Amino acid sequence: MLGYFLADRNSLNPPGEKELFAEDGIFEWGHAQPLEKVINSREDVEFLLKNPNLLRNCITIIEPWEHVGVNTLGEDVRASKNVAYIAQKVADIDSVLLPVWSTGIIDPEIIVPAITCGYAVVVEGGDPSTYDESTWTSPACPREDMFALVEKLLISRSPTSAPAIFICVGHQLAAEGNIRLIRRAVKEVLGMTSLDGDRSGIALRSLQEVAGRIEAIGKTLQVKKRDGRVVAQGWNDRHFAVTRNESKEVGDRVLLPYQSPDGDALDIPWELIHAHSVTADAHEGVIDTTIQYEHEVSISMFHSDEVNEEAVLFANWAYRSIHDALIPYRHLIAGSPLSWLIQLPDSVEILCSTAANGEIVTECSATCINYKDFEAKKIRRSFTCQFHPELLSDLRAIGNSEAPSYATLKNDDGVRLFVRLLYAGMQE
């Protein structure tokens, strides 16, 4: 049904379109189908674990915050309802909501394997800033708990797992998670004194040489805006991965193909830019291909923070370096305390940018996180996007606005792109 939806913009609507609003006209989580599945407690998780088919045939939506922002009408926008509506309307796919802002995060070691057995995991947006702990005001879900959940999701993509789609603050959390995972990897590799089976020590020396190079660049890399302002000094700076955007972006934007920066002007080491060019040439990130084939792709922006271009270029280079260093010695690593390194992405690609009045506003508007299977050589992907593909141009949550028809969804660029991400990821 996802493929049918994407086939063209003029295909016939499926017969017998279902009315998704309740009889009283309310479309709200926990009120009635199709929004009845909400995880409110550990008991709810245990029930789902005992009934795995409920999760296996669903999309799980994680809400870091109670809404993704306030629109021009003064409405709180609970975009998770749009995700559930689109999935149900387009492909009869149910959704499960995990509102961590109110319930807290049940142990990631338990919850992540459970939710990644379904069709997909969507991490929604929210109001807090990843670089400002004081904005995470929900006592149920402090910032560090959210980081731990996202990091676990980032290293849980496997042949049997669901793709993850990180939206807005989810996109920013993923960027921060990438940097935190790389710092952790470097620290653990440099802290090792030996590896079982590595009698000559060459495996550990090779890994430590790579880790040392990553650390050296990570500690010195600046994040510089196009107007020359330096907003972060090195990977320990809280603004290294995410910072305040030059201007708030609200409303429709046309997605532009990502263009590599001038490394000399921004003091970005050439190997970071080169590594990204290799990743872009070797991998297909769905969004970049869509931009190439469509006349233009118009999308809804709704944010004031942005992921820094330099941080993603660095993460891609570091992931590629670690992956390549592991290849000859993965049989040794697999039985060591460093075995989790094998679960890291092998690369992350910036897919597109947005502009206003001819000036780039958000360099890194979306990324594709690639996972290369060491043995089968297959690629699996997850995606992040600063924009909201699930929101229509009115920036309203479904339930506050009239329910869009199948035909309306079919002709919306954002919805089509969201469905395309689901369709591509679910086939891997």
Q: What would the two tokens of residue 180 be?
A: 């935190």
Place of tokens 């690609």: 349
Place of tokens 């263009």: 259
pLDDT at 265 over 90: no
**CA–CA dist 340, 194 (Å, integer):** 17
Average pLDDT, the chain: 92
pLDDT (mean) for 178-198: 96
pLDDT at 101 over 90: yes
**Which letter, b or e, does each residue of 348-383 get, where b requires 16 or more Cβ atoms within 10 Å of its Cβ?**
bbbbbbbeeeeebbbbbbbbbbbbbeeeeeebbbbb
Element (H, E) at 140: none
Rounded to 5°, the CA angle 61-180-184 comes to 125
Contacts of residue 4, defined as CB under 8 A and 6 or more positions apart, other chains included, come to 11, 14
Residue 216 is predicted with a pLDDT of: 98
**Which letter, b or e, does each residue of 100-117 get, where b requires 16 or more Cβ atoms within 10 Å of its Cβ?**
bbebebbebeebbebbbb
Residue 53 is predicted with a pLDDT of: 87
**CA–CA dist 285, 283 (Å, integer):** 6
Model confidence pLDDT, tens digit, residues 159-172: 889 999 999 999 99
Model confidence pLDDT, tens digit, residues 37-60: 999 998 998 898 898 888 899 999
Residue 304 is predicted with a pLDDT of: 83
Peptide bond into 99 cis (omega under 30): no
Model confidence pLDDT, tens digit, residues 351-374: 999 988 778 889 999 999 999 999
Rounded to 5°, the CA angle 233-234-239 comes to 65
Residue 160 is predicted with a pLDDT of: 87
pLDDT (mean) for 134-158: 95
122 contacts 167 by C-beta, under 8 angstroms? yes
The lowest-confidence range among 44-48, 225-229, 235-239 is 225-229
Provide the whole-model pTM.
0.95
103 contacts 80 by C-beta, under 8 angstroms? no
pLDDT at 15 over 70: no
SS3 119: coil
Q: What would the two tokens of residue 97 be?
A: 């909501």
Rounded to 5°, the CA angle 164-134-224 comes to 70
Domains of the chain with bracketed CATH: 2-177+243-312+337-426 (3.40.50.880)
pLDDT bucket at 225, cuts 50 / 70 / 90: confident
pLDDT (mean) for 298-315: 90
Give me the amino acid identity at 144: E
pLDDT (mean) for 306-320: 97
pLDDT bucket at 11, cuts 50 / 70 / 90: confident
SS3 11: coil
